[in-house]
Amino acid sequence: MSTVLMLSPGFPAEMAYFTRALAAAGARVIGVGDQPPSQLPAPARGALAHYEHVSLADEGAVFAALHGLARHVRFDQVECLWEPYMILAARVRETFALPGMTVLDTVPFRDKERMKQVLDAAGVRTPRHAATRTVAGVWEAAERIGYPIIVKPIAGAGSADTYRVDSTAELTEVVPLLRHVPEVSVEEFVDGEEFTFDTVCADGKILFENIMWYRPRPLQMRMHEWISPVSIALRDLSAPDLRPGREMGARVLAALGFRNGFTHMEWYRTASGEAVFGEIAARPPGARVVDLMNYATDGDLYAGWAEAVLRGQLRTPLQRRYNAGTIFKRAVGTGRISRIEGLDALRAAYGDDIVLVDLLPVGAPRRDWRATLVGDGWVVVRHHELARVLEMTERFASDLQIYAS
């Protein structure tokens, strides 16, 4: 039986399901995390053979705890799927001579400038880019690259602290908003549709791949409260307009030397059909995308990931059976949820094509839409035909309304 150290086994929420999948696949799982034991989600708590409660931000405390554990048990591997602590996981591997990504391997997945430098050298089309730690550097990069530009953290995740800037006047307003960010990436804004390329790999081989279509682009989702963010996991990956992105994704993984686990890449398709790299992380996508993949396949990507990292294979191959779409809803108003309108009519119209409705109940406090993409609830629809899913997601985005007061 393999003994796996799982860093942050219960946070964010999806981590609990990966932890449970490791145990279900036959591993003895030791958790190391910030959460008090009583606050661990039940799936994680029930899967752990032992739990070390320690601040992951305190590397000294983490290594003290692990050296203490090492006197009693031998570790076989370490897994971490929460981006802020992937470098820590790599240091643990190096300290205890464990297999997997080293610090050198991990840095290009965390440092967006280094990431693009590696891919530039491999001939992958990336946006024109520069990294800087100074205000003067931001202005210099903007002048060299030309507007519009995107300014975002070098080591960020998702679209947090990310801004599109179209002019010097706008840059004057944005720069003060980034004073808390130690280093930023300034890059060319690529005009086009935005997609993901998500994989589960073992020994450098892609065992499963997913392409998801963002509608609209994530940056727009973050800018406008009234938008209901939509993401669609596509069934037919052989479509000609997706081929450049898939081919680029495989080249990116090879250039970065990725071997085992989940990856989440974002890319753009321009009006001319060109695929342009966005960014990549050596982790699963967030915002319930793994669940969306499960609805698209009638499978279990949590279990698939565990089989890949433990045994180098998927015991049961996963097939893309449906186009599956997620619609995240944001309430209108402030305070507590007061009413939900339009749901009954949509259920009558689409019936079994609606596979999940998980909205905040009346009386619950409205969530801060800037702090969570999930907003005040989500709906999942699916169908073999993409046109049907496009219709349903657009209807749920426009006709389903949540009100707070």
CATH code of the domain covering residue 182: 3.30.1490.20
The string of DSSP codes covering 137-162 is HHHHHHHHH-SSEEEEETT--TTTT-
pLDDT of residue 317: 85
pLDDT of residue 159: 61
Domain end among 188, 217, 236: 188
* Domain contains 213: yes
Contact 65, 32 (CB under 8 A): yes
Domain match, 225 and 335 both = yes
pLDDT of residue 131: 87
pLDDT (tens digit per residue) in 206-251? 999 999 999 988 878 877 889 999 999 999 999 999 999 999 999 9
pLDDT of residue 156: 64
- Kindly state the average pLDDT of the residues 65-81: 96
Q: What is the domain count for the chain?
A: 3
Distance CA 182, CA 23 (A): 38
DSSP letter for 74, please: -
Average pLDDT, the chain: 94
Above 60 in pLDDT, residue 1? Answer: yes
* Domain contains 356: yes
| Residue 35's CATH number | 3.40.50.20
Domain end among 188, 215, 235: 188
- Kindly state the average pLDDT of the residues 140-148: 91
Q: Which segments of 48-167 does DSSP mark as H helices, in order?
A: 59-70, 86-95, 103-110, 112-121, 135-145
Domain match, 44 and 158 both = no
Contact 193, 267 (CB under 8 A): no
pLDDT of residue 113: 87
Supply angle C-alpha 26, 27, 29, rounded to 5: 140
* Domain contains 106: no
pLDDT (tens digit per residue) in 114-134? 999 999 999 999 999 888 999
- Kindly state the average pLDDT of the residues 338-350: 97
* Helical packing angle, 112-121 and 103-110, nearest 10°: 100
* Domain contains 375: yes
Nearest alpha-carbon partner for 339 in 325, 350, 329? 329
Contact 92, 66 (CB under 8 A): yes
Domain match, 180 and 198 both = no
pLDDT (tens digit per residue) in 165-191? 989 999 998 888 888 888 888 999 989
Domain match, 248 and 363 both = yes
- φ/ψ of residue 88, rounded to 5: -60, -45
User: Residue 190 CB: number of other CB atoms within 10 A?
Assistant: 21
Domain match, 158 and 217 both = no
pLDDT of residue 370: 83
Domain match, 233 and 300 both = yes
Domain match, 205 and 95 both = no
Question: What is the domain range of residue 176?
Answer: 128-188
306 burial (CB, 10 Å; 0-12 / 13-18 / 19+) is buried
Contacting residues for 173 by C-beta, under 8 A, at least 6 apart: none
Domain end among 81, 100, 119: 100
* Domain contains 59: yes
* Domain contains 324: yes
* Domain contains 116: no
Domain match, 380 and 233 both = yes
Supply angle C-alpha 404, 392, 289, rounded to 5: 75
Domain match, 197 and 176 both = no
Domain match, 168 and 219 both = no
| Residue 244's CATH number | 3.30.470.20
Domain match, 57 and 155 both = no
Question: Structure pTM?
Answer: 0.90
* Domain contains 112: no
pLDDT band at 160 (very low <50, low <70, confident <90, very high): confident
Domain match, 70 and 145 both = no
The alpha carbon dihedral of 38, 39, 40, 43 has a sign of positive
SS3 sequence of 283-333: CCCCCCHHHHHHHHHCCCHHHHHHHHHHHCCCCCCCCCCCEEEEEECCCEC
Contact 379, 400 (CB under 8 A): yes
> 42: part of which helix (H) or strand (E)?
helix 42-47
